[in-house]
Chain A
Amino acid sequence: MAENQSYYVPASSPWPIIGAIGLGLIAWGAGNTVIDMTNNQDGYGSTVLTIGIIVMAVMLFGWFRDQINESMQGLYNDQLGNSYKQGMSWFIFSEVMFFAAFFGALFYARVIAVPWLDGASNNVMTAEVLWPEFVAQWPLTKTPGGTETQAMGWYGLPLVNTVILVVSSVTCHFAHVGLEKDNRKQLTAWLGLTIILGCIFLYLQGAEYIHAYEQLGLTLDSGIYGNTFYMLTGFHGMHVTLGTLMLIIMFLRVVKGHFTPDNHFAFQATSWYWHFVDVVWICLFVVVYIL
């Protein structure tokens, strides 16, 4: 709560409306791209999408540049810092709920939908009439419709990736400690290592996808097992990509001498985001790969 300090109200800015235009172009372009792809036609969808992404990138660059300049000029006070921290926490909570939708779909399919298709609960006749041959199992390697696939094991690449991501969370924390102790060397080294680990994770995840597609026949459209596998690991991978980009930006800012032990919200937010991505992966590793 505000004690006897006066408030800081940011000046008006062109970036939000540019961001809205960018987001609008992305949504419109993405929608049309998908429609064009399905109809096998050339349309303006992908062009609009590309322009939207460029506008969005320019907006992010400009908005953050202004923000960083204002912060470096010391315009911000503790109260605004608190607002940022709380805002970031609630944003991460919203991300948790986004993943919850897909974890929920996985649980529902595994515990309810697939057994029901094999006649569990009060569905004996449904199973008899629709797909008498179908046998419930998880991972669902043969769908009622007859698509076959192989399951992804948890050892090998996924286990290595788990270790890498957990270690990267620890190195990210060491970097943060280095920043708080004003030990720039420690900060730079551990932050750089975190970025490298993030990139290795993404590379291995790509290798795993290629292995799944080429050797296991595990594809996005190979039934509910493949669906949940790719949607969960895919959205997680997108979040790791974003997190890595954020870490790289933090690294560049650290090199430029930004952040002080008491004023480093951007770094803190990035580190929270990175830990969040790590926690999601641990849930994912247990639920998608091991169980």
Chain B
Amino acid sequence: MSTVVDDIHHEEHHDHKPSGITRWLFTTNHKDIGSLYLWFSLIMFFIGGAMAMVIRAELFQPGLQLVEPNFFNQMTTVHGLIMVFGAVMPAFTGLANWMIPMMIGAPDMALPRMNNWSFWILPFGFAILLSSLFLEGGGPNFGWTFYAPLSTTYSNDSTALFVFSMHILGISSIMGAINVIVTIMNMRAPGMNYMKMPLFVWTWLITAFLLIAVMPVLAGAVTMVLTDKYFGTSFFDAAGGGDPVMFQHIFWFFGHPEVYIMILPSFGIISAIIPAFTRKQLFGYASMVYATASIAILSFLVWAHHMFTTGMPVFAELFFMYCTMLIAVPTGVKVFNWVATMWRGAMTFETPMLFALAFVILFTIGGFSGLMLAITPVDFQYHDTYFVVAHFHYVLVTGAVFSIMAAAYYWLPKWTGHMYDETLAKLHFWTSLISVNVLFFPMHFAGLAGMPRRIPDYSIQFADVNQITSIGGFAFGLSQLIFLWLCIKCVRGGEKAAAKPWEGAEGLEWTVPSPAPYHTFEKPPKVE
């Protein structure tokens, strides 16, 4: 007993871990900041999820039962904003903070103090956004895409708060991205050349580039909304020579790369997990890198596929249709490589692998419905229906969120030093998998039948499908409480994890003990 205490004491002494609240406020440690990001993202996931529950409760029956339409609109808007900017993006930044320095053999992120700053901006940004919900007239109610003139002429007073909160969230993302990119370019251990980097590092390098390229464009878009609404400009007002459609062009020039920002790191995670649990090398490493880069480049050329029904010239519709379909090629390469990695592998099905497998299948479904939406004439029917909602929830929930869950299970032993509870984790997986499909799959049918999105009421023929959807929604929401419980349990204790708890796992992060010491790789490791 005393030796154990001694060991712990020794380890803590060696770690120089500061204590108390200032540890978290003043920290420059990438692991602390990573944990802050991850917990923040989990909290936001539940806040955004609660809003989704309000939406699903209202849509359980036709007619208006629970909330006012204006409040319903605020829920759809803030649910989207929180899930995109508060849950998915910070989760990926948290994973990047925790894992990238360990994966490339660096002692920390390149700019540790800026790292702290970019995290601590987030709570303030979301406090401002959420506080606007409690103002007279309410918060943003124009959809997370804040199309003009909904966000200019017809929006409520609090729009300025929305605009400035978006500004500081953007500042946070840009600083986070600069940090990632500089860390990867400048802090790799000797011998860790670009084509030896784990794919999670590669995908984040490309994601960071996308972030730096498009977050400032979002800042420009919200600034124009601000001046149009409050200072009499007419960027998005035809009477002054502007054009509301121009808003959509600027927004989606940001928005389309943004959706890849939320999926490319997933590709990196899945490319780490599938080889680990098939005990094989990843099939086609180089083609994975090139495919990721191709997707990123193409993401700048497809924005107007969100705008097929705005009356663009036919040439533009065709150009954006073909470019969009081209994205299926590199994405197909990736899916093929994951499947080929599993081919004749010695597979086991621990929870990270289960989530990764679900990702491959369900993300591909979301990809296929994306292809359907890319066909211009067909999109005229699908546009602004639940088919679109089904599509982007398949890529974002069973895509991005499932990959984050997979990553959490895969690296929790490294973060906490404890194995998570496998029974609970399997329960979480299966309840999530079933409920998420009950939730989102019927939306395809509602959408094809013409049910419009973002409307609190619907015609009677959509009642059955909405009831099934809502039941799936409540079940999915409840299932996530298992995950919360599991995380807390795993942090507090559990079976001790080995330095490399997964037999087939590869990478520098598994060469350090679990939990990873407060400082790792103060001297650069040699990579052969």
Contact = CB atoms under 8 A, between A and B. Distances in A.
A140 B240 CA distance: 9
A281 B182 CA distance: 28
Interface in A90-128: 90-91, 93-95, 97-98, 100-102, 104-105, 108-109, 112-114, 116-117, 121-122
Nearest to B116: A16
Given A12-B27, A24-B128, A82 B186 contact: yes
Given A34-B226, A143-B239, A9 B187 contact: no
Interface in B104-134: 106-108, 110-114, 116-117, 120-121, 123-125, 127-128, 131
A140 B241 contact: yes
A37 B167 contact: no
B164 interface: yes
A38 to B, nearest CB: 5
A83 B28 contact: no
A224 B217 contact: no
A28 B128 contact: yes
B83 interface: no
Contacts of A104: 217, 249-250, 253
Interface residues of B, number: 87
A227 B107 contact: no
A93 B177 CA distance: 12
Given A13-B113, A83-B186, A225-B241, A105 B108 contact: no
Interface residues of A, number: 74
Contacts of B412: none
Interface in A234-258: none
Interface string B153-171: 0000110110111011001
Interface string A128-140: 0010000000001
Interface string A66-102: 0000000000000110111011001101110110111
A160 B249 CA distance: 35
Contacts of B223: 231
Contacts of B157: 35, 38-39
Interface stretch (B370-378, B418-426, B518-526): B518-526
A103 to B, nearest CB: 10
A27 interface: yes
Contacts of B107: 7, 9
B113 A101 contact: no
A35 B161 contact: yes
A2 interface: yes
A284 to B, nearest CB: 15
B246 A105 contact: yes
Given A23-B121, A147-B240, A100 B232 contact: no
A31 B311 CA distance: 34
Nearest to B224: A105
A7 B27 contact: no
A80 B219 CA distance: 29
Nearest to A2: B524
A24 B127 contact: yes
A24 B239 CA distance: 35
Given A90-B182, A94-B212, A145-B239, A7 B106 contact: yes
Interface string A153-191: 000000000000000000000000000000000000000
B188 A2 contact: yes
A52 to B, nearest CB: 10
Given A27-B167, A220-B231, A10 B112 contact: yes
A122 B241 contact: no
Contacts of B240: 143-145, 147, 221, 223-224, 227
Given A9-B108, A87-B110, A87-B182, A223 B241 contact: yes
A119 to B, nearest CB: 13
Given A9-B519, A27-B165, A39-B157, A224 B212 contact: no
B243 A116 contact: yes
Given A144-B238, A227-B240, 9 more contacts: A2-B189, A3-B190, A4-B190, A7-B107, A16-B26, A31-B128, A105-B250, A109-B235, A145-B239
Interface of A: 1-4, 6-7, 9-17, 19-21, 23-24, 26-28, 30-32, 34-35, 37-39, 63, 79-80, 82-84, 86-87, 90-91, 93-95, 97-98, 100-102, 104-105, 108-109, 112-114, 116-117, 121-122, 130, 140, 143-145, 147, 220-221, 223-227, 231
